[in-house]
Structure formats: C-alpha cells, structure tokens
Amino acid sequence: MAEKEIILTYEGLKVREEELEYLKTQKRKEISEKIKVALGFGDLSENAEYDEAKNEQAEVEMRILKLEKMLKNAKIIDNDDISTDVVTLGCKVKVLDIDFDEEMEYMIVGSTEANPNQNKLSDESPVGKALIGAKAGDTVSVESPNGEFQIKIISISR
C-alpha cells in the first residue's frame, strides 16, 4: 500500500527538517545524558528518573520516525505553481465573514501544517474545503459544527 502524500509548503518543509535535525543531534544527546545520570542512582526497579528518561527517549524516537516518514512522502508546493485565480493549496486568502462583518486572512495548507493560531487552515477543514476552487468575489457557504455561515473571498495571493 502506498504511503499518503504529505503536502507541505516550502516553509513547512524547512520547519520539519530543522525539528528532525534538532531531535537527532541535540535532543538524543540530552536524553542520553539523563539516562546516564539516572543509571547512577542505582536500583532501576524504583528509579523514576530512569523511567522518565526512557519514556522521553521513546517519544523522541517515535517523532523522529514520523518526521522521516513525512519528509519521505512530502510533496512541496512550489510558489510558482500557486494560482491566484482560484483558491488552492499554498495560497493566502483574504475573506469577509458576512455574519460578523469581519475580514480575515488565511493561508491554505495541508493538514500536517495546519495551525489556526497562525491562520494556517487545512484544506480538509470546513473553511478550507469551502474555499478550495473558489474565486475572488465568490461567496461560499461553510458547513461547520456550529451551523452554516457565509464568507466572501476578497482576494487571493501567494
């Protein structure tokens, strides 16, 4: 079975590569030191520091594997391929929430990069799904858990 393609912006790729490098070079060493110190405490059967360090080591190794798999299956969105005619992955969209008369700007990204606090919305989110394929000037309906609402696309940019 083929692995699911992971769609990332160039920025998202760099963030994940930097995290992987940090985990492999620095975090592994830090945990190794913690384990070494904890081993010095003696009896491992009642050594909370050792157990905690081993658990942290397992979590870091799992994250490293996940990042390596993600990067192996990554498809990078090239800025030159981002259309400003219609909403696509990688573009920035300025919208007007019609109910609240409030303007917002979102970047549409793949699900692994989504971060609503940074206004990065997944193409799989209710707003992202509604926006994909729409043009500037279009009003789209968004089906959300709190009910349907309307947003108007003001502009699309890279």
pLDDT band at 2 (very low <50, low <70, confident <90, very high): low
Residues 33 and 60 in one domain: yes
CATH code of the domain containing 65 = 1.10.287.180
Q: Is residue 110 part of a domain?
A: yes
Q: How confident is the model at residue 72 (pLDDT cuts 50, 70, 90)?
A: very high
Sheet holding 120-122, edge to edge: 120-122, 102-109, 92-97, 147-157, 139-144
* Same domain as 92, residue 136: yes
Total domains present in the chain = 2
Reply yes or no on whether the pLDDT at 1 is more than 80. Answer: no
17 touches 71 (CB < 8 A) = yes
pLDDT at residue 154 above 80?
Answer: yes
The total of other beta-carbon atoms located within 10 Å of residue 9's CB is 21
Q: Residues 30, 97: contact at Cβ < 8 Å?
A: no
73-114 confidence digits (pLDDT tens) = 998 988 777 778 999 999 999 999 988 899 999 999 998 899
Condensed to tens digits (0 to 9), the pLDDT of residues 23-64 reads: 999 999 999 999 998 888 777 777 788 889 999 999 999 999
pTM recorded for the entire structure: 0.75
Question: Angle at CA 108, nearest 5°, toward 107 and 112?
Answer: 110
Range of the structural domain that residue 51 is part of: 6-77
